[in-house]
């Protein structure tokens, strides 16, 4: 197979709505309508965009690429508009990345569901599937489940008995949902597991005694769950994911955890049971949180941090065990100075110390 040049929005995978007039692209970006008219057929990086494509710049590091671009138009900050080469139209906006998201969605809108139930799907007794929903091949929908308007359920997904999906949910291939209630516009990526038993057991002289997990998973509107995440149902209360929150791939959420609105949790984070995470919290990749913690509003937890204590609202913590960012980096600087001093004073002094 011959190598192909990189294509943004490869038509084999992404439906396209172009070509579109420059004025429509500027309007989607939130920029004043431009008098110049030309047709743009798609989006592309600065380095490869041609005269019929639109690109963007948000990081000054790529200014050389801007000055050499052949793009028909570029979304960027107003103060950089003068750096746009001849033949390229500047689309000035205050927040280029936000505008770029709208422009890219204009050219490549998410696919609409194709209403209907595939002949290989299995629908349980008493389940209700809205006629506008798309149910893919080999999907299993349990008894009494409810699938709302405009939902898309991918191949091989399993929706357990009694599960409720509100309108316009997207369930990826081979995901499984049980004991769960989902709000509107929730996106569940492939391989996600929601509603399985939490890690709860009592220790006895004869071994471990499993504790029944009797709660649910409640996911509010506009949440996105990355591929292969696992979210345990509650033991006696619900596990909750607040509206608008985003979980990256491979995140583990334990039973009874309550996550607030608009939180961001990056890949490979593990949150142990009964931890409360308030609104607007950000947690970096591979961080670990023990159970029964309280993480305050707008706190930020650094990558690979080990969190064993509550984190106050607005605090930044890093390291293992996690501590305030400034304290951690003072210690790092001190250790480096000590290490440098020992190396400089090594040799015979070091030998005498031994």
Q: How many residues does the chain have?
A: 354
Q: Is the dihedral of CA 291, 164, 244, 252 positive or negative?
A: positive
Q: What is the tens place of the pLDDT at every residue in 105-140?
A: 999 998 899 999 999 999 999 999 999 999 999 999
Q: What is the tens place of the pLDDT at every residue in 146-200?
A: 999 999 999 999 999 999 999 999 999 999 999 999 999 999 999 999 999 999 9
Angle, helices 96-107 vs 22-29, to 10°: value is: 130
Catalogue the active-site residues. 255
Q: Is the dihedral of CA 346, 352, 353, 354 positive or negative?
A: positive
pLDDT at 142 over 80: yes
Q: What is the tens place of the pLDDT at every residue in 51-95?
A: 999 999 999 999 999 999 999 999 999 999 999 999 999 999 999
Confidence label for 7 from pLDDT (cuts 50, 70 and 90):
low
Average pLDDT (270-280) is 98
Q: What is the tens place of the pLDDT at every residue in 234-258?
A: 999 999 999 999 999 999 999 999 9
DSSP 142-170: -TT-EE-TT-EE-TT-EE-TT-EE-TT-E
Q: What is the pLDDT of residue 33?
A: 74
Q: Spell 172-184 as b/e; 16+ CB within 10 A means b.
A: bbbbbbbbbbbbb
Percent of the chain with pLDDT over 90: 85
pTM for the predicted model, two decimal places: 0.90
Domains for the chain: give ranges and CATH numbers.
20-107 (3.40.1390.10), 112-174 (2.160.10.10), 183-341 (2.160.10.10)
Return the bridge partners of 239, or none. Answer: 217
């Amino acid at each position: 197979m011959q190598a192909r040049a990189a294509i943004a929005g490869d038509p084999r995978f992404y439906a396209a709505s172009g070509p579109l007039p420059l004025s429509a692209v500027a309007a989607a970006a939130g920029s004043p309508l431009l008098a110049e008219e030309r047709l743009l057929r798609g989006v592309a990086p600065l380095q490869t965009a041609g005269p019929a494509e639109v690109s963007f710049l948000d990081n000054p590091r790529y200014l050389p690429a801007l000055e050499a671009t052949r793009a028909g138009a570029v979304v960027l900050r107003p103060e950089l508009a003068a750096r746009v080469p001849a033949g390229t139209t500047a689309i000035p906006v205050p927040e280029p990345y936000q505008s770029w998201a709208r422009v890219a969605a204009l050219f490549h809108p998410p696919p609409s569901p194709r209403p209907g139930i595939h002949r290989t799907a299995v629908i349980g007794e008493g389940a209700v599937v809205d006629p506008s929903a798309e149910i893919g091949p080999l999907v299993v929908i349990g008894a009494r489940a409810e699938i709302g308007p405009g939902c898309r359920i991918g191949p091989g997904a399993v929706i357990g008995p009694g599960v409720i999906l509100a309108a316009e949910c997207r369930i990826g291939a081979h995901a499984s949902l049980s004991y769960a209630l989902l709000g509107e516009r929730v996106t569940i990526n492939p391989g996600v597991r929601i509603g399985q038993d939490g890690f709860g057991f009592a220790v006895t002289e004869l071994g471990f005694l499993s504790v029944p997990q009797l709660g649910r998973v409640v996911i509010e509107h506009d949440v996105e769950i990355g591929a292969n995440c696992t979210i345990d149902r509650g033991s006696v209360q619900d596990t909750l994911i607040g509206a608008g929150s985003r979980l990256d791939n491979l995140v583990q959420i334990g039973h009874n955890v309550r996550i607030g609105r608009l939180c961001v949790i990056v890949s490979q984070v593990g949150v142990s049971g009964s931890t409360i995470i308030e609104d607007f919290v950000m947690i970096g990749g591979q961080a670990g949180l023990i159970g029964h913690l309280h993480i305050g509003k707008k706190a930020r937890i650094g990558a690979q941090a080990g969190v064993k204590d509550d984190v106050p609202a607005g605090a930044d913590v890093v390291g293992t065990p996690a501590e305030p960012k400034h304290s951690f980096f003072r210690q790092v600087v001190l250790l480096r100075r000590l290490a440098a001093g020992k190396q400089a004073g090594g040799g015979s002094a070091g030998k005498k110390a031994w």
